[in-house]
Amino acid sequence: MNPASNLILVGPMGAGKTCIGRRLAERFGLRLVDADREIELRAGTSVATLFELEGEAGFRARESAVLAELLRDDGLLLATGGGAVLAEDNRRLLRERGFVVQLLVTVEQQLERLAQDRSRPLLARGDREQVLRELAQRRAPLYAEVADLRYDTGSLGSAEAAAGLAAALDRHWRRPAGAPSSSPVSGADA
């Protein structure tokens, strides 16, 4: 059992990292940080604009720096970007500084969830299904490499997924001292 004080969610876009993370952070008394939003706040612009101006390599350098800074703290729930696992140093940091949950979702479920989303730069290039399949092939082994726990969110709404994952975390994760252990996960499905 990994006794880390941080809870980290990894997985592909559309897996529910932010929506589920919001509910889990409340349940476990953690501070929620969405890594992509944090990068946007610090840069003063969107991820899409960063990709346009700096390319993926520039964005990934920013992402690594933000992850390193954020994970110096304890007591946070970190919703990572889908590509955060690409850098070996990031994977090492995630494993060392948190209990990592891999959220699972199929490409078909991603397509459904992301059908109206035009904000993701990697989906702006060509056939969305093909892009998602290529990303899954490259990234799935890296998610699995860092994961302490794997959880399928595919057929679940965020409230149901968060409740089920909270129950699994109660069995598999030793939470930080003083964190609530069994408060209900509530709220409408986001």
Binding region for Mg(2+):
18
Q: Residues forming the annotated binding site for ATP? A: 14-19, 120
CB atoms within 10 A of CB 28: 21
Q: How far does the chain reach from its first CA to its final CA, in angstroms?
A: 30
Please state, in angstroms and as integers, the Cα–Cα distance from residue 120 to each residue in 33, 102, 116, 177, 185, following that order: 19, 20, 11, 37, 29
DSSP 8-state code for residue 178: T
24, 162 contact by CB (below 8 A): yes
Q: Residues forming the annotated binding site? A: 14-19, 36, 60, 82, 120, 139
* Residue that is written with structure tokens 């960063």 in the block: 50
Q: Residues forming the annotated binding site for substrate? A: 36, 60, 82, 139
Cα gap 96→74, rounded to integer Å: 12
